[in-house]
């Protein structure tokens, strides 16, 4: 049987992507920057209903530039969600700042406002908060925004997994001072590798444009007054992104279908609690994830799926439990650790057919019975 992936690239059947790639070839724009980059930035702004955007070579680069644009420097405290991928946290270390990890809550699986406020009280000089909209489901944004305003800290939204998700009708990534998106190969749309930073602050985005293009000053010769970075997206990658953006809503519909299929098919066994859908939330359902209710090790389910060439994954291991980051402070009560221990991400590839979903569910049910 062919490999069933967790979430893999899915080019449009209309081959929209090839139109823009061919234009780049025909005009010899095979380099960083170019017309596709300019158009992709504007098309993303149009899709997200405002702001200013810069296309970069990864979501990690976008988080790094967001931290610099927020004036984060050495020894500054950055409060960051613990239940996430390391790319959310690594750029804090790049700048010599200090991460403090915040636990999740069961209502959203994302940053707990209660634990965040505890951290803001403990660290009154904190400079920024990084939240994550995990697996395409939004955090309790209104409460987080209120706390950030109350304690005068910058808010960075890691919306790498939640492009197209809405909170109370507004797109995730557009509530904070800066929003970050990823177009890695496993995301809901891809540019092969790439990211995007968005903000309502035009001047800060222009500053990121300067830094990410090697900080080249305006001069006839090459002159650099600040440290620069080679972070810009290529014209070819942006062309792929332009084509992918045309089918984003279609991908969200398929992701929603997959989530509902699993929830309906597996809930009858009273084994799983699926990632909660709150009243404010219109998620993109990037990955269909659930907690195991009974005394079943999710790794056993993952191993059983692997035997049939099906990819599944555990929930992210919290950053405060990672060997590199365990020395940093953690504010919480063990919720993210429980989510990691009992959580599983089911195959959520938008190319999945019903017969494949049926087969996956069959294997999962077999694994449950065999435990």
Stated pTM of the model = 0.97
Measure Cα distances from 181 to 74, 124, 286 in Å.
25, 29, 13
Using the predicted structure, report yes or no on whether residue 294 has a pLDDT greater than 90: no
Q: Where are the domains of the chain?
A: 16-245, 248-370
Contacts of 201 (CB under 8 A, 6+ apart): 52, 69, 177
Residue 293 has a pLDDT of 87
Burial label, 296 (beta-carbon count in 10 A; 0-12, 13-18, 19+): middle
Residue 371 has a pLDDT of 66
Tell me: the pLDDT tens digits for 231-277? 999 999 999 999 999 999 999 999 999 999 999 999 877 899 999 99
Residue 292 has a pLDDT of 95
Number of H helices, E strands in the chain: 12, 15
CB-CB contact of 178 with 66 (8 Å): yes
The topology (CATH level 3) of 248-370 is 3.90.1150
Q: Token digits for 71?
A: 């004036």
CATH code for the part of the protein at 16-245: 3.40.640.10
Tell me: the pLDDT tens digits for 8-50? 999 999 999 999 999 999 999 887 889 999 999 999 999 999 9
Q: Which helix (H) or strand (E) holds 54?
A: strand 52-56
Using the predicted structure, report yes or no on whether residue 206 has a pLDDT greater than 90: yes
Buried b / exposed e across 105-121, counting CB within 10 Å, b at 16+? beebbbbbbbbbbebbe
> Quick one: what percent of the chain has pLDDT higher than 90?
94
Place of tokens 């830094």: 211
Q: Token digits for 203?
A: 């001047």
């Amino acid at each position: 049987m062919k490999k069933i992936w967790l979430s893999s690239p899915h080019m449009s059947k209309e081959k929209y992507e090839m139109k823009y790639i061919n234009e780049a070839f025909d005009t010899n724009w095979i380099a960083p920057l170019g017309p596709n980059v300019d158009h992709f930035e504007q098309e993303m702004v149009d899709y997200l209903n405002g702001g200013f955007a810069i296309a970069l070579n990864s979501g990690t680069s976008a988080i790094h530039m967001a931290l610099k644009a927020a004036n984060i420097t050495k020894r500054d405290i950055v409060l960051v969600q613990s239940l996430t991928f390391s790319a959310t946290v690594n750029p804090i270390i790049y700048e010599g700042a200090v991460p403090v990890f915040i636990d999740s809550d069961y209502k959203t699986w994302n940053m707990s406002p209660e634990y965040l406020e505890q951290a803001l009280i403990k660290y009154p000089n904190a400079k920024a908060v990084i939240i994550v909209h995990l697996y395409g489901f939004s955090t309790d944004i209104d409460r987080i925004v209120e706390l950030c305003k109350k304690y005068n800290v910058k808010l960075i939204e890691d919306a790498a997994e939640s492009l197209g998700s809405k909170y109370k009708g507004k797109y995730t990534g557009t509530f904070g001072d800066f929003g970050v998106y990823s177009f890695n190969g496993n995301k809901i749309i891809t540019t092969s590798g790439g990211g995007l930073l968005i903000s309502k602050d035009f001047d800060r985005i222009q500053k990121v444009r300067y830094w990410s293009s090697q900080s080249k000053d305006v001069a006839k010769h090459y002159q650099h007054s600040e440290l620069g970075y080679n972070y810009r997206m290529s014209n070819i990658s942006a062309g792929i992104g332009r084509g992918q953006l045309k089918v984003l809503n279609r991908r969200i519909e398929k992701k929603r279908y997959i989530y509902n299929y699993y929830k309906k098919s597996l809930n009858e066994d009273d084994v799983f609690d699926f990632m909660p859908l709150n009243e404010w939330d219109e998620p993109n359902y990037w990955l269909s994830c659930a907690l195991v209710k009974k005394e079943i090790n999710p790794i056993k389910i993952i191993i059983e799926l692997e035997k049939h060439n099906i990819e599944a994954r555990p929930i992210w291991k919290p950053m405060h439990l990672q060997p590199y980051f365990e020395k940093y402070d953690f504010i919480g009560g063990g919720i993210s650790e429980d989510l990691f221990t009992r959580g599983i991400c089911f195959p959520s590839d938008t190319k999945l057919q019903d017969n494949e979903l049926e087969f996956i569910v069959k294997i999962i049910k077999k694994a449950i019975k065999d435990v």
